Structure 1
């Protein structure tokens, strides 16, 4: 491969082009392009990271995204990838509905997410309070 071809490979890989598309564009075999990319650190993982940083690839699997003009930019290619990503990154969830209470049974302070009417810190305290009040 010539220096010009190598530069074109780097440019096209950073744009997210496949090995086959690059090979046909510069006139060499697909295996030649794959070998050069592997040796130069332009494998599929490196390209996916570049595309994710730019917002052109799925945040979970790295597949190229197809954006609709005038619509909000996508982060994931499918619901499957979106749910998997959020399941692996619970720290990224911005929880706003956190409530602070004191347990009615033991008096211990506790937090509740999403339920503003909670009274007990655990099922054990709920059971104790229920047994004491019923008899």
Structure 2
């Protein structure tokens, strides 16, 4: 990569251009552009960054404790697994669940509702066991 290309990359990144646009403009591999930008701290500028969840959730959605973030992974919404479970349990009714199936048990004939599994055959584990291990009278 020539010095002229490096200067153009710096200029285009400061203008907010994406890696792919810079790569096509300079006829250089996109991975080469990414590597150069990473080595020279030419990531996204503050003006081009959108508001992320990291900025939105500065405290736990359940208990309100301040959240700490690592350098990798998704932004946190909860301070602990316990808070996450409690929040979902309390807010279960707010979700629009569309995958409910109304089925009939193959063993007892009782009508039951299954969430997310339209191929379910039994209303309970007991009905499954009865059907599987039922002794036929001779």
Which TM bucket (shorter chain)?
0.3 to 0.5
Question: Which protein is richer in helix relative to its size?
Answer: 1
TM-score normalised to structure 1 length = 0.41
Q: What TM-score do the two structures reach when normalised by structure 2?
A: 0.40
